Amino acid sequence: MVSHENMILSVVVIGTLMASIDSTIVLLAFPAITSALHSSIATIIWVILIYMIVVAVFSTQFGRIGDIYGRSRMFNLGFAIFTIASFLCGIAPTDVMLIAFRAVQAIGGALIASNSSAIIADTFERHRIGRAYGYTSMSWNIGALLGILLGGVITTFIGYRYIFFINVPIGIVAVFLGLKYVKDPNMTKGKVDLAGMTALGAAIALISYAGINYASVGITTFNIALLALGAVSALIFLVIDKKVKMPTINFSMFSNRIFRNSLFASFFQGLGFMGVTFLLIMYLQGVRGYTPFYASLLLFPGYIVSGVLAPYMGRLSDKYGSRSIATAGIFFMIAGVLYYITLLGVSSPAYYIIIGTIITGFGGAMFWPSNNSAVMANVAAELRGAASGTLRLFGSLGLIGSFIIAFAAAASAIPRYLAFEIFAGTSRVIGGINNRFVVGMHAAFIALLLMLVLAGIFSYIRGSESRRTPGASNVRGVSTESE
């Protein structure tokens, strides 16, 4: 018989799976969506970009709201919004409406993501939390794999609209299970910091849009102004949060070294690693001329390795702590990027990509469950929603930054419009431009490598921890860390 806590884990895994599928399923549908809606790649690319920005903007706020009004309520509401928005995306008659509905879908995704880690921390004792995060990491990788497969098959044989419709029956089941099994053991009395949330949301949105606008068109007065306004909004947020009793981000959490350095490790890992994936997609489709579907097949082995090993690595982090396992994971990611820098050229054999994805996939299996569990195991119960949202925020900002680095590097060798078309699988580089693109890609790999080195440093200096005592918990965010 399935235990109650395993049912809760199953619901969280379904939520992670849905979000993961939607992170990759759109990639192979770009040409079909562009044609069907009579749009352009420069517009349709916002189907992905708007999702990234909205999740980054709302993650921290929704985590804090979950602490106050109930994580299960916010989590289940997220499922409902995500499901309804998926249906609306499927029937969207224009590109602008599709982008708008994707923004609504992202709100649901942010509600799910910002509360799911807290729900796991509420459900499992500290010495078993890594195993649970191992399964969520596994579902993320399997979802990304399924997204690529389903995106190619559904778009080719049924129609791109069904890549959104597929979420509807899954979401209905998830809402039912969530309402039945996911409850709120801990809630914090307090008021929502609307002023702080507004200032923080404005700062993240303005800075993120400025960066993406730079990747799209280069340096302009407009994106410089956006960046400046974002910085001002961030300062306003800091002033507001210092004066309120229940701030949007409780900075007392950052006094815990393991929590603080684990967050920075997450940020720099996302900043360094996701750009590698973006550049590999452009390399395979633009330089090698592979179809989006075939290019995605070459990335499969890394997802498989990471998905299979993640639960096992999560158990090891429960036994030995997160520092050594997560840091070793970063080492494997660095090794994978060095491998690409050394061996990947204009005419390298396709199996080189497969070997590289296996190396980095092994690193991902070690890092993600270990690092996530370190964040959530080292914060007080009443702040878990805020901590979960902050973890998602740092990861999302790393993802957006990595996207900017990848496209800025591509634009140093080829026109920006061509970089977007290559990423979408509708064009390729030809002639001598191939060599220029590969040189720019290697330069970007070096920059991304430095980000991963920083992630490794923060991962290592987080300090050691022990979760082996059943029932061990943290009080006010203070953990058993070694100085």
Give the per-residue pLDDT at 160. Answer: 86
Give the per-residue pLDDT at 478. Answer: 39
If pLDDT is split at 50, 70 and 90, which confidence band does 273 have?
Answer: confident
CB 305 within 8 A of CB 245: no
* Separation between Cα atoms, residue 399 and residue 408, nearest integer Å: 14
- In this predicted structure, which of 48-52, 160-164, 243-247, 456-460 has the lowest mean pLDDT? 243-247
For residue range 322-343, list pLDDT tens digits in order: 899 999 999 999 999 999 999 9
Give the per-residue pLDDT at 397. Answer: 85
If pLDDT is split at 50, 70 and 90, which confidence band does 232 have?
Answer: very high
If pLDDT is split at 50, 70 and 90, which confidence band does 141 have?
Answer: low
429 in helix, strand or coil? coil
* Separation between Cα atoms, residue 186 and residue 119, nearest integer Å: 10
Composition of the chain by helix, strand, coil, percent to 5: 80, 0, 20
If pLDDT is split at 50, 70 and 90, which confidence band does 123 have?
Answer: confident
For residue range 16-37, list pLDDT tens digits in order: 888 778 777 787 778 788 888 9
395 or 446: which leads in pLDDT: 446
Sequence-distant (≥ 6) Cβ neighbours of residue 323 within 8 angstroms: 374, 459, 460, 462, 463, 464, 465
Give the per-residue pLDDT at 62. Answer: 86
- In this predicted structure, which of 39-43, 181-185, 300-304 has the lowest mean pLDDT? 181-185
pLDDT tops 50 at residue 190: yes
* Amino acid sitting at position 259: F
What percentage of the chain exceeds 70 in pLDDT? 92
pTM of the predicted protein model:
0.83
b/e map 92-130, b = 16+ CB within 10 Å: beebeebbbbbbbbbbbbbbbbbbbbbbbbbbbbbbbbb
Name the CATH code of domain 4-193+244-460 (choices 3.30.830.10, 3.40.190.10, 1.20.1250.20, 1.20.1420.20).
1.20.1250.20
pLDDT tops 50 at residue 460: yes
If pLDDT is split at 50, 70 and 90, which confidence band does 470 have?
Answer: very low
The mean of the pLDDT values for the chain is: 83
pLDDT tops 70 at residue 309: yes
Average pLDDT rounded to a whole number, residues 274-297: 82
pLDDT tops 80 at residue 421: no
Sequence-distant (≥ 6) Cβ neighbours of residue 461 within 8 angstroms: 257, 261
pLDDT tops 70 at residue 121: yes
Domains in the chain: boundaries: 4-193+244-460, 194-243
Give the per-residue pLDDT at 289. Answer: 83
pLDDT tops 70 at residue 476: no
Give the per-residue pLDDT at 185. Answer: 62
Give the per-residue pLDDT at 145. Answer: 66
432 or 477: which leads in pLDDT: 432
89 in helix, strand or coil? helix
